[in-house]
Amino acid sequence: MSATFDVSNRPEPDELLVQIADYVDQFEIQSDEAYRTARHTVIDALGCGLLALRFPECTKHLGPVVPGTVVPNGARVPGTNYVLDPIKAAFDIGCIIRWLDYNDTWLAAEWGHPSDNLGAVLAVADYLSRQRIANGEAPLTMKAVLTAMIKAHEIQGVLALENSFNRVGLDHVVLVKVASTAVVTKLLGGSREQIIDALSQAWVDGQALRTYRHAPNAGSRKSWAAGDATSRAVRLAMITMKGEMGLPSVLTAPQWGFYDVLFSKTNKDQKLKPEHERAFSLPQAFGSYVMENVLFKISFPAEFHAQTAAEAAMTLHPLVKDRLHEIEKIQVRTHESAIRIISKVGPMANPADRDHCLQYMIAVPLALGALKAEHYEDSFHQANPIIDKLREKMVIVEDERYSREYLESDKRSIANAITVFFTDGTSTEEIAVEYPIGHRRRRDEGIPLLEAKFLDNLRTRYPEWRCQKIQQLCLDQHAFENTPVNIFTEMLFVD
């Protein structure tokens, strides 16, 4: 009788761990466009977080785990009076940023919201700055935050280009955890080797399933999942900085590694796919591509695959608002990812379900000429039965060109087209929108609106004089970059 033994020779770290660590540790960001976009990403994400503080279902998650906990030199949570340890602060900041599904987006084989990483980056940068001041040292500046965000965006976005975690049932927040772990370890003073070790901990960690994003289980966890990922990233980085060892072949270890356990599908014979089909694809080197091309949600707090659909519906609203009960059919041409992720029929159980329903996000602006966060709430839905009547009349059709150009690196379109047909045999013209206003191709048009969105969000939390002071700083690249992190977070603090 033969026995099988594990070979205990410690391998060299997996190549991907090394590539990410080298990028975080050594790569110098040279792109002015990336830094400008990073500033807009940071202020937009924080504005989304301030707006979310209006919703009790969000704010119930905030604050210390144990009430009354005092944390010396703790991190501030914008828009609140909470001073927390950096792990819980990362959760709270990440939670409010993501709650309304209104911050930036990246769409590829995998999708996600790279500014989710700000939860970890800002919490740690604020905590470190206050620690440094207490020790008589200079604090970090907001440029360090921008640099970390550019690199976090790049790690999350490049890994998403050709690797579909959703197809194996994993949620995209795994990439938030990985990216945040890498850049936070660097902020904490970690070496290249410590970044590698921390990354291995992020990959071996338990990973979230996408269950909470899909019917019949869609629910509010999707709104705090990114906060959970950022807080876990901070925890793993801090453990590593205390000397915790890494797991060098966390991805490639036969049977026990990430590729074999979590990134493979089995065929009918339960045989694993060939090894090359299980490993991640990395089609380009890490640089600043993702930040330069990130998508902003400017017009609507809605899942990004529906942004152009909502814009088309808004255009159609004046033509149909007086004929809603005469509508026979609403035809929607869209891309494959939208159909797979957000096309839903049947009852909508809660706000988290509605803001991930393509048909709902078309019906509301078609009928009302607007789409706001409040429009997903139960009270609004119950008071407007026309929404579900319109949903029932929608026919969703894939356009192969839309699906193809969604993945083409020089396009990255997110196209939708809508035609409304009436019972008398007439119809509207088809309204097609291929690039949302938050796309890089529409930056000149979008950035002024993004800045106005930020000011509107500030006004939900602060008096006008303070809003103007914050806005003035945030629109000045040089002044913003040179502001100490602790000073910036104090400006957003509520006593």
pLDDT per position as a tens digit, 208-257 = 999 999 888 989 999 999 999 999 999 999 999 999 999 999 999 999 99
- The arithmetic mean of pLDDT across residues 183-187, rounded, is 98
Is residue 301 a contact partner of residue 443, using CB atoms and an 8 Å limit? no
Q: How confident is the model at residue 301 (pLDDT cuts 50, 70, 90)?
A: confident
**What is the structure's pLDDT at 414?**
92
pLDDT in tens, 108-117: 889 899 999 9
As a whole number, the mean pLDDT across the chain is 94
- Can you tell me the distance from the alpha carbon of 89 to that of 83, in angstroms, rounded to the nearest whole number? 8
Q: Pairing between strand 394-398 and 416-422?
A: unpaired
- Can you tell me the distance from the alpha carbon of 170 to that of 102, in angstroms, rounded to the nearest whole number? 22
Half-sphere exposure of 69 toward its Cβ, with a 13 Å CA cutoff?
15
Is residue 304 a contact partner of residue 107, using CB atoms and an 8 Å limit? yes
Which region holds residue 111: left if phi is over 0, alpha if psi is between -120 and 50, else beta? beta
- Can you tell me the distance from the alpha carbon of 282 to that of 434, in angstroms, rounded to the nearest whole number? 27
pLDDT in tens, 24-64: 999 999 999 999 999 999 999 999 999 999 999 999 999 99
156 or 349: which carries more pLDDT confidence?
A: 156
Q: How confident is the model at residue 410 (pLDDT cuts 50, 70, 90)?
A: confident
- Model confidence at 2: pLDDT above 80: no
pLDDT in tens, 59-101: 999 999 999 999 999 999 999 999 999 999 999 999 999 999 8
**What is the structure's pLDDT at 412?**
86
**What is the structure's pLDDT at 265?**
61
pLDDT in tens, 432-462: 999 999 999 999 999 999 999 999 999 999 9
- The arithmetic mean of pLDDT across residues 266-281, rounded, is 56
**What is the structure's pLDDT at 1?**
43
Q: CA–CA distance from 84 to each of 87, 269, 296, 330, 406 (Å)?
A: 8, 51, 29, 49, 41
268 or 221: which carries more pLDDT confidence?
A: 221
- The arithmetic mean of pLDDT across residues 475-481, rounded, is 98
Q: What percent of the chain shows pLDDT beyond 90?
A: 87
Q: How confident is the model at residue 267 (pLDDT cuts 50, 70, 90)?
A: very low
- Model confidence at 272: pLDDT above 50: no
- Can you tell me the distance from the alpha carbon of 298 to that of 44, in angstroms, rounded to the nearest whole number? 9
pLDDT in tens, 316-360: 999 999 999 999 999 999 999 999 989 999 998 899 889 989 999
Judged by average pLDDT, the poorest of 4-8, 96-100, 393-397 is 4-8
